[in-house]
Chains A and B, each alone.
Chain A
């Protein structure tokens, strides 16, 4: 049975949620997404496919994190 009284008594007054309006996503926000993806790549994925020498240092420092993120490793 659907008990509407329950809904009324348990509805918190502060739960009137704001509507999620449409916004235009500015170009710089998408650029930031690309930057974030690049940062993730260099921190987590770089195995020498792009950087060859500097990669080793990054790779070894973030070694444990890379494994936890589940990306391939040597």
Chain B
């Protein structure tokens, strides 16, 4: 790569240029999306099929009419895999840019460590916290009349969770407390913020009347697929960044 026009004034040739970060993020995101799709196809296929069978039996019993399916099951299974790969790609782009913005400010010793830290934080903020408030549901659960309300609530918890993680990180960097007090204050602030988010947002408007066993088999498969996605993405992106850009002047000793 030629001398980069976007090099920071502080460092003429930084370790990584933006294009390099993006290439790592895109590749990591694609592979991570494929890994998550593979996980979903094995661990999640059973619960999805059971849930759709239940959904069909309910709609037969209540209306007597079978609603016309736009796509066959096998097409939807392919669509699900394509969706996870596209989602992985998009997440990889976001991950790369955020890593470029926050990575240099982290007290991480290597780019892989920075990537893993961001991956853990991102998984917590983007997946675990929203899941704890509004857990994923299989197809048989969900009232079409409340879908817009539930989408808004989901966005609210997602946005608040990301905002809280960012604010607490800023606090941790800015606070000048003792080394122990700083960690306790950061953990306390995060816990308090989570409590406010969980209490302020209303419960999901839908009653979950599908069997708990089915619902939880699906929820664990969903959480597992997302854990695979984030773990593979963070590991791979960090590993791809192990070698600095040649013009940065840094090189790993071999």
User: Max chain B CB contacts within 10 Å: which of A36, A60, A66?
Assistant: A36
* Cβ-based interface call for A29 (8 A): yes
Q: Which residues from chain A contact B103 at a C-beta distance below 8 Å?
A: 20
Cβ A73 vs Cβ B139 within 8 A: yes
Cβ A40 vs Cβ B17 within 8 A: no
A14 and B71 in contact (CB under 8 A), knowing A21-B8, A37-B94, A65-B84?
A: no
On chain A, the number of residues with a Cβ less than 8 Å from chain B's Cβ atoms is: 46
Q: Which residues from chain B contact A40 at a C-beta distance below 8 Å?
A: 87, 90-91
* Cβ-based interface call for A1 (8 A): no
* Cβ-based interface call for B248 (8 A): yes
How many whole Å from A12's CB to the nearest CB in chain B?
10
Q: Which residues from chain A contact B84 at a C-beta distance below 8 Å?
A: 65, 68-69
* Cβ-based interface call for A32 (8 A): yes
Query: Which of B10, B81, B109 interacts with A65 by CB under 8 Å?
Result: B81
Cβ B86 vs Cβ A21 within 8 A: no
Cβ A19 vs Cβ B87 within 8 A: no
On chain B, the number of residues with a Cβ less than 8 Å from chain A's Cβ atoms is: 85
* Cβ-based interface call for B244 (8 A): yes
CA distance A32 to B225 in the complex (A): 25
Cβ B130 vs Cβ A70 within 8 A: yes
Q: Which residues from chain B contact A68 at a C-beta distance below 8 Å?
A: 36, 40, 44, 80, 84, 136, 221-222, 225-226
CA distance A61 to B135 in the complex (A): 22
Query: Which of A60, A64, A72 interacts with B154 by CB under 8 Å?
Result: A72
Q: Which residues from chain B contact A13 at a C-beta distance below 8 Å?
A: 253-254
| B-facing residues in A21-47 (Cβ within 8 Å) | 21-26, 29-30, 32-33, 35-37, 39-40, 43-45, 47
- Contact indicator per residue, chain B 51-89, by CB within 8 Å of chain A (1) or not (0): 000000000000000000111000111011111101101
Q: Which of B143-151, B165-173, B180-188, B194-202 contacts A (4 or more CB under 8 A)?
A: B143-151
* Cβ-based interface call for B101 (8 A): yes
Query: Which of A15, A18, A63, A70 interacts with B250 by CB under 8 Å?
Result: A18
CA distance A70 to B242 in the complex (A): 32
A33 and B93 in contact (CB under 8 A), knowing A24-B6, A64-B79, A65-B87?
A: yes
CA distance A21 to B245 in the complex (A): 11
How many whole Å from B135's CB to the nearest CB in chain A?
7
CA distance A74 to B148 in the complex (A): 9
Q: Which residues from chain B contact A74 at a C-beta distance below 8 Å?
A: 142-144, 147
How many whole Å from B16's CB to the nearest CB in chain A?
7
| A-facing residues in B202-223 (Cβ within 8 Å) | 218, 221-223
CA distance A17 to B36 in the complex (A): 29
Q: Which residues from chain B contact A71 at a C-beta distance below 8 Å?
A: 136, 151, 154
Cβ B79 vs Cβ A62 within 8 A: yes
* Cβ-based interface call for B121 (8 A): no
CA distance A64 to B79 in the complex (A): 7
Cβ B244 vs Cβ A18 within 8 A: yes
Cβ A70 vs Cβ B93 within 8 A: no
* Cβ-based interface call for B119 (8 A): no
Q: Which residues from chain A contact B150 at a C-beta distance below 8 Å?
A: 72
